[in-house]
Amino acid sequence: MNRALRGADIVAGALARAGVQRLFSLSGNQIMVLYDAALDAGIGIVHVRHEAAAVHMADAWGRLTGEPGVALLTGGPGHANGVGALFNALAAESPLVMLSGHAPLAELGTDAFQELRQAEVAAPLCKASWTAQSAATLGEDIARAMRIAKSGRPGPVHVSLPVDVIEARVSDVKGRIPEAPAFAAPANALDDRAARAIVAELERAERPVIFAGPSMAAGRGRESREALGAAMGVPVVFTESPRGTADPALGALPDLLPQADLVVLLGRKLDFALRFGRPPAFGAHCRFIHIDPDAEALRRSAAMIGDAGRMVLGALADALPAAHSLIAQARRGFSGAPSLAAWAQAVQRALEQRPAEWAQAGSQPNAVHPVQVALAVDRALAARPDAIYVSDGGEFGQWAMACAKAATRISNGPGGGIGGSIPSAIAARLARPDATVIATLGDGSFGFHLAEYETAVRHRAPFVAVLGNDARWNAEHQIQLRLYGEARAHGCDLLPARYDLAIAALGGHGEHVTQAGELDGAIERAIASGKPACVNVAIAPLAAPVLSRNSVPPGAAH
């Protein structure tokens, strides 16, 4: 005879059946029954110091594994604290499920404890957001959330769990926890006729470029875009920076893009970061093909181009299955234009181009040039092929992303929000326990989640944060200098704080660097410490690099 189950047991059982190994969470009144249920389900809990950190961790987990990371928050203020971190996850197309405790259904409308219209608060930042209504249907709520998070364009999903629902008991338990297929996302494939037409257009093009979207950043996505480039010999460019074509990681590519005669958007929105496909970023006669899981995205791209002759084709399909269809079609026989090989080489040279003088960049007294820090990080990553690189935003972040390279990278993404790199690095180490994880961030970003070092120590998740410390919010300071002049630059100063000492006090490892010659040794000692580490580098407050004539950023990224 089946015993009665609490709603919380159904939630935990459904998560376990979906393959969830751990929850990223901060405890609170409304979710303690879920903590209790997680014990029986064998699900671990990474207990954090701020709810936003839990969401950033779930975001990073989703990007690295392709399976939704799960954040579990309490209701009201806990939910509100976590919601902001959904913005980056949505823009980065990261599969994520955020579960929030909630005031009892039976008390709604009575000013219940921490009552808040949580589903409405989260809705603009999610693919779907709802409040569970019955303990008996909680299993399907979880399965539905996991499916939506992974399907089409991946992204965050929110479900609020009223405390009376998750504490209620269900006596008829058969089938309450869905079987494994209920958690799988349906794949929207590219039909053969569209695949043939797209490959034919690529064969005719003399200077084609394929732009891959954020969902192809890591794991199977990265492997698929590399395989696509190899099968066709067509340049496949990956962009996820809010600076878009002005991303310093793209080198001098913006100078070549106006020469492209065909652009294929593979799950990549034609948005502000790609300058909406308009001149001068792209040529006035450049033609476009857009493959996307979202019909509205296809409609918008056609409207942005505004010329039916230049929008060759819009195809409704998921990015990964579409890439596989194109690869299969190309392997049946692909013969690009005679100019294709030379064009692909020119694109690759442009992507790799960096100013020669960077290698000899000088430093100020007790202030290292940011590029020297970035090159030191690159050397550490190059020595470790399995390394994961986590990059935050800001001016120092642009220097770092221009130089530091790793096969697996997590960035702050198209959303441009800063501060998520420390929790993301912790999640990366938990997802891949044998990998070296190195993060780069500025001192402004560092302040968002400094306390999560205690989380990293507690959960034995070592990583190294290389901190560019210029004692200011430099991205905003540079805006003030450009727009208002030095005399009106104010409100962006910070102290040159010894963050390395703070990290040591939290149980981590700290290094303080004021000279370029100290960088390599400090980073290697930090890695060798086996602890969550901070290499606090005093840097010169320089503006982000501009590597091409055609790469003025569309706006400052916060």
Q: Comparing 8 with 359, which gets the higher pLDDT? A: 8
Question: Is the distance from CB of 219 to CB of 211 less than 8 angstroms?
Answer: no
* Cβ atoms of 452 and 508 closer than 8 Å: no
Distance from C-alpha of 241 to C-alpha of 119, rounded to nearest angstrom:
29
Which fold does the domain 192-352 belong to in CATH? Rossmann fold (3.40.50)
Phi, psi (deg, nearest 5) at residue 89: -65, -40
Among 40-49, 97-106, 134-143, 326-335, the least confident range: 326-335
Cβ contacts of 309 within 8 Å, gap of 6 or more: 287
Residue 82 in contact with residue 55, Cβ under 8 Å?
A: yes
What is the domain partition of the chain in residue ranges?
5-183, 192-352, 356-538
Given pLDDT bands bounded at 50, 70 and 90, which one contains residue 555?
very low
The answer, yes or no, to whether residue 459 has pLDDT greater than 70, is yes
- Fold match between domain 192-352 and domain 356-538: yes
Query: 10 Å Cβ neighbour count for 217?
Result: 23
Q: Are 28 and 59 in contact (CB under 8 A)?
A: no
Q: Is the peptide bond before 385 cis (omega within 30 degrees of 0)?
A: no
Alpha-carbon span 129 to 122, nearest angstrom: 7
Average pLDDT over every residue of 146-158: 97
pLDDT in tens, 305-354: 988 889 999 999 999 999 999 999 999 989 888 999 999 999 999 999 99
3.40.47.10, 3.40.50.1100, 3.40.50.1010, 3.40.50.970: CATH of 5-183: 3.40.50.970
**Phi then psi dihedrals of residue 209, to 5 deg:** -140, 135
- Look at residue 144 in the predicted model and tell me its pLDDT: 98
Reported as a single tens digit per residue, the pLDDT across 480-533 is 999 999 999 999 999 999 999 999 999 999 999 999 999 999 999 999 999 999
The pLDDT-based confidence of 23 (bands split at 50, 70, 90) is: very high
Contact 157, 94 (CB under 8 A): no
DSSP SS3 for 169: strand
Query: Which whole number is the average pLDDT over 264-277?
Result: 93
pLDDT value, residue 363: 72
Residues 6+ apart with CB under 8 A from 525: 509, 511
Beta-carbon contacts of 307 under 8 Å, excluding residues fewer than 6 positions away, are none
Residue 265 has pLDDT above 50, yes or no: yes
- In this prediction, residue 548 carries a pLDDT of 65
What average pLDDT does this structure show over 181-200? 94
> What is the CA 47 to chain-centroid distance, rounded?
21
Position 551 scores a pLDDT of 53
Tell me how far CA of residue 251 lies from CA of 280, 406, 536, in angstroms. Answer: 17, 16, 27
Query: Mean per-residue pLDDT for 437-452?
Result: 97
Per-residue b or e along 218-227, where b marks 16 or more CB atoms closer than 10 Å to that residue's CB: beebbebbeb
How far is Cα 208 from Cα 200, in angstroms, rounded to an integer?
12
Residue with more model confidence, 550 or 80: 80
List b or e across 528-541, with b for residues whose CB sees 16 or more CB atoms inside 10 angstroms: eeebbbbbbbbbbb
- pLDDT tens for each residue of 403-440: 999 999 999 988 989 999 999 999 999 999 999 999 99
Query: What gap in Å lies between CA 207 and CA 340, rounded to an integer?
Result: 6
Q: Where does 432-555 have alpha helices with state H? A: 443-446, 452-458, 474-484, 499-505, 519-528
| Mean per-residue pLDDT, 389-401 | 94
User: To the nearest 10°, the Cα dihedral for 420, 469, 351, 231?
Assistant: -30
Question: Alpha helix locations (H) across 66-137?
Answer: 77-83, 86-91, 118-122
CATH architecture assigned to 356-538:
3-Layer(aba) Sandwich (3.40)
Rounded to whole angstroms, how far apart are CA atoms 536 and 279?
42
- pTM listed for this prediction: 0.95
Question: Which neighbouring-strand residues pair with 437?
Answer: 388
Cα angle 258, 278, 308; round to 5? 105
Query: What six digits make up the tokens of 20?
Result: 């969830």
- d(Cα 58, Cα 55) in Å, to the nearest integer? 5
Would you say residue 556 has pLDDT above 70? no
Q: pLDDT-derived band of residue 360, with 50, 70 and 90 as boundaries?
A: confident
